A and B are shown apart, each in its own frame.
Chain A
Amino acid sequence: MISKRIIPCLDVRAGKLTKGIKFEGNIDIGDPVEAAREYYEQGADEIVFYDITASSDGRDIMIDVVDRVAKTIFIPFSVGGGIRNLEDMRRVIMAGAEKVSVNSTAVTNPEIITQGAQAFGSQCIVLGMDVKKVAVTDKIPSGYEIVIHGGRKYTGIDALWWAREAEKRGAGEICLNSIDADGTQDGYELNLTAMISENVRIPVIASGGAGKPEHLAEVLTNGKADAALIASMVHYRTYSIAQIKQYLHEHEIKTRMLW
């Protein structure tokens, strides 16, 4: 039977690895290609890169990073951040990424999901969703709202509606990030993750809040997630991916144990 995936997330700015806490005060902590190689060797099942560079020069640097990563690791990886159109998608995919993820751009222009799925196949298109808990209203019946621009701007879009809409448009996977949990290391937002995962037929990657192996165990069982994104807990070497997988294995959660 299929394994649950453990996916380290690497934030990259101008070709350097960073990890932001609640999207503020980013600090450089290394070379993304080296980090990708290390996680590949530790047993990562996939790697997510977020390019948080704003400038177009930075984007060319990112394409070079993607190309070098693709020559170094032989597992799937996705690239998000700054993907504005089909041409951006094509460049990233041709440089060797398996998947591209769209977030804010898809909110302002949902057609990019449809077009991307038609051009490259649904399996290439990941919808990144940044979500905040809000009061339940007629407009936001799930009590979770989509936010964009790194969590600064509320969109008035219901998270559950958006997940289903993206699935209909051909997204192949959802990477679901709780802005409330992100950077806290207090655990994933289980209610949100379970609600989205149970209401779509595409895989859901839980993101935001991982601090201990127990948190991954929770989100992969009660949270119904298909995969779990991790960052600080491995970037700062508190845990290795192998340690996390060993913990999950001992708790009867199936992950890939040979690599």
Chain B
Amino acid sequence: MIAIIDYKAGNLTSVARALQSIGAAYVISDDIEKLNSADHIIFPGVGAAGDAMANLHSKELVGWMREWIKKGKPFMGICLGTQIILDYSEENDTPCIGLVSGSTKRFPDGMQSEGRLLKIPHMGWNSVQFLRKHPVFQGIPAGAEFYFVHSYYPAPSQDAVVLGITDYGIKFCSVLAEKNLVAMQFHPEKSGRPGLQILQNFCNWGGNDI
């Protein structure tokens, strides 16, 4: 059973619909007992870091997440759910969960590519350069693109956790992985077949990083 953490941060149903399409059983919940009975956790999210952290604190989910990670069971962050697993986000000057060390930064103004000013948010399809193999990204063809929509990006402090890099004026960490945790800035649930493949791989993953 997959549990999608419900913390009033955007539309969780798109992740649920994608899981449904690949035949994965899931619950959407903010109840710690229900979450504990799951084998896999998906932590999605759209919106602002400040509100998201306030909601997580009010539901006592911050401490719960830190405990879950220690158990070694699979955990996936998506979009905002990736940004706030770091220690800190520049968005609303927010202390975050700290499952992975580092911070979330805003894209600098005035980024350019081929003489054109790049727009913020980074909205649309972009590729990911994978630095090593990982079970959750098995079978994803080189050059596959994924759907991004964000103005902030994850900047982990340890290079070892950077699994994928994306170029948007600057090169940023778009996928990070450490032990039983994987997290991505793009939306696998909105990234067509390669995205569904990632969700499928995650469902089959036991949590080992090899």
Tell me if A154 is interfacial: C-beta within 8 Å of chain B.
no
B18 lies within 8 A of A74 (CB): yes
Size class of A's contact patch? 20 to 34
Q: Per DSSP, are chain A's interface residues mostly helix, strand or loop, or mixed?
A: loop
Complex Cα distance A123/B190, Å?
14
A227 lies within 8 A of B124 (CB): yes
A74-B192, A226-B124 given as contacts; is B145 within 8 A of A3 (CB)?
yes
Q: Tell me the nearest residue of chain A to B14, going by C-beta.
A: A96
Counting chain B CB atoms within 10 Å of each CB, which of A76, A201, A257 scores highest? A76
Size class of B's contact patch? 35 or more
A1-B168, A76-B190, A121-B47 given as contacts; is B14 within 8 A of A70 (CB)?
yes
B190 lies within 8 A of A258 (CB): no
A3-B125, A3-B145, A94-B13 given as contacts; is B21 within 8 A of A258 (CB)?
no
Q: Tell me the nearest residue of chain B to A122, going by C-beta.
A: B121
Q: Pick the residue among B10, B124, B143, B194 that contacts A2 (CB under 8 A).
A: B124
A2-B125, A2-B168 given as contacts; is B149 within 8 A of A201 (CB)?
no
Complex Cα distance A172/B168, Å?
18
A96 lies within 8 A of B119 (CB): no
B10 lies within 8 A of A203 (CB): no
A5 lies within 8 A of B191 (CB): no
Q: Pick the residue among A5, A70, A93, A257 that contacts B124 (CB under 8 A).
A: A5
- Chain B residues, CB < 8 A from A74: 17-18, 21, 189-193, 195-196
- Chain B residues, CB < 8 A from A257: 143
B125 lies within 8 A of A121 (CB): no
A2 lies within 8 A of B126 (CB): yes
A203 lies within 8 A of B124 (CB): yes
- Chain B residues, CB < 8 A from A259: 192-194
Instruction: Fill in one digit per residue for B6-25: 1 if any A CB lies within 8 Å of its CB, else 0.
Output: 00001101100110110000
Closest beta carbon of chain A to B54's beta carbon, Å: 16
Q: Tell me the nearest residue of chain B to A71, going by C-beta.
A: B17
Closest beta carbon of chain B to A172's beta carbon, Å: 7
Closest beta carbon of chain A to B5's beta carbon, Å: 18
Tell me if B123 is interfacial: C-beta within 8 Å of chain A.
yes
Closest beta carbon of chain A to B117's beta carbon, Å: 8
Question: Of residues 153 to 200 in B, which have CB atoms within 8 Å of A's CB atoms?
Answer: 167-168, 189-196
Closest beta carbon of chain B to A248's beta carbon, Å: 13
Closest beta carbon of chain A to B143's beta carbon, Å: 6
A70-B17, A226-B119, A258-B141 given as contacts; is B124 within 8 A of A75 (CB)?
no
Tell me if A40 is interfacial: C-beta within 8 Å of chain B.
yes
Closest beta carbon of chain B to A71's beta carbon, Å: 6
- Chain B residues, CB < 8 A from A70: 13-14, 17
Instruction: Fill in one digit per residue for B119-161: 1 if any A CB lies within 8 Å of its CB, else 0.
Output: 1111111100000000000000101110111000000000000
Tell me if B62 is interfacial: C-beta within 8 Å of chain A.
no
Closest beta carbon of chain A to B201's beta carbon, Å: 15
A75 lies within 8 A of B123 (CB): no
Closest beta carbon of chain A to B166's beta carbon, Å: 9
Interface CB pairs A-B, < 8 A, 30: A1-B126, A2-B122, A2-B125, A3-B124, A3-B145, A70-B13, A70-B14, A70-B17, A74-B21, A74-B195, A74-B196, A75-B147, A75-B192, A76-B147, A96-B14, A98-B190, A120-B10, A121-B46, A121-B47, A123-B121, A172-B123, A173-B123, A203-B119, A203-B123, A226-B123, A256-B125, A256-B145, A258-B141, A258-B194, A259-B193
Given contacts A203-B119, A259-B192, A259-B193, 19 further A-B contacts (CB under 8 A): A1-B113, A1-B168, A3-B126, A4-B124, A45-B124, A74-B192, A76-B190, A96-B14, A98-B14, A121-B47, A122-B121, A123-B123, A173-B123, A201-B119, A202-B121, A226-B123, A258-B141, A258-B143, A259-B194
Binding site for B on A (CB under 8 A): 1-5, 40, 45, 70-71, 74-76, 93-94, 96, 98, 120-123, 172-173, 201-203, 224, 226-227, 256-259
Closest 5 CB pairs of A and B: A256-B145, A256-B125, A3-B125, A123-B149, A2-B126
